[in-house]
Amino acid sequence: MKGIFVTLCVIFFSSVASAQNTKPPICIEAETPDSIGSMLHYRLAPEIRKASSFAIADECSSALIKINFVSQDIDKNNSYLAGKRTVFSYAISIRLTTAESFAYFTSFVSYCGRDMVDACASTLGYITERKLIVFKIALEQRLNKN
């Protein structure tokens, strides 16, 4: 386990150091069959780009961090409420090696209504930034111990 963590640290910091003026890339993979989830996904990348010290990658093959975003209409079987709210899962994974594999870092589930999509996207951008800062601090502390 210690070897994997050290490898992760080396990859993370070499990625950051290799491009002093370039932000490490994040990719977003989404499965959003509902309209609210699609709108939230569409607004998510600009919010992460704005709030984060990371960039949005064109492809996950070049990303250091991957976000899996899955949504579903909460009320799809209720004709009166259908299309007004979505429940979503948001998971952050981090590349452990130069291979295509990512390791789970953190996740959460929440919901968003049609009238709150911009606020939900802004909140997701902020949460992503905070989670990744915690990760970076933990790596720095671990590296300082070694």
Sheet holding 55-56, edge to edge: 55-56, 25-31, 65-73, 85-95, 102-113
Whole-structure pTM value = 0.77
Higher pLDDT, 69 or 102: 69
Which residues have C-beta within 8 Å of that of residue 57, sequence separation ≥ 6? 25, 26, 27, 63
Residue 90, both tokens: 């948001």
Could you say which DSSP state residue 114 is in?
G
Per-residue model confidence (pLDDT) at position 98: 67
Higher pLDDT, 77 or 64: 64
Per-residue model confidence (pLDDT) at position 4: 55
Per-residue model confidence (pLDDT) at position 3: 55
Q: pLDDT tens digit string along 25-53?
A: 899 999 999 999 999 999 998 888 886 67
**Nearest one of 110, 94, 129 to 8, comparing CA atoms:** 94
Which stretches does DSSP call E strand in 12-84? 25-31, 55-56, 65-73
Q: pLDDT tens digit string along 120-134?
A: 999 999 888 888 888
Rg (CA), the chain: 17
Per-residue model confidence (pLDDT) at position 36: 93
Domain 2-145: CATH superfamily is: TolB, N-terminal domain (3.40.50.10070)
Q: Are 34 and 73 in contact (CB under 8 A)?
A: yes
Mean pLDDT of 1-23: 53
pLDDT band, residue 146 (cuts 50/70/90): low
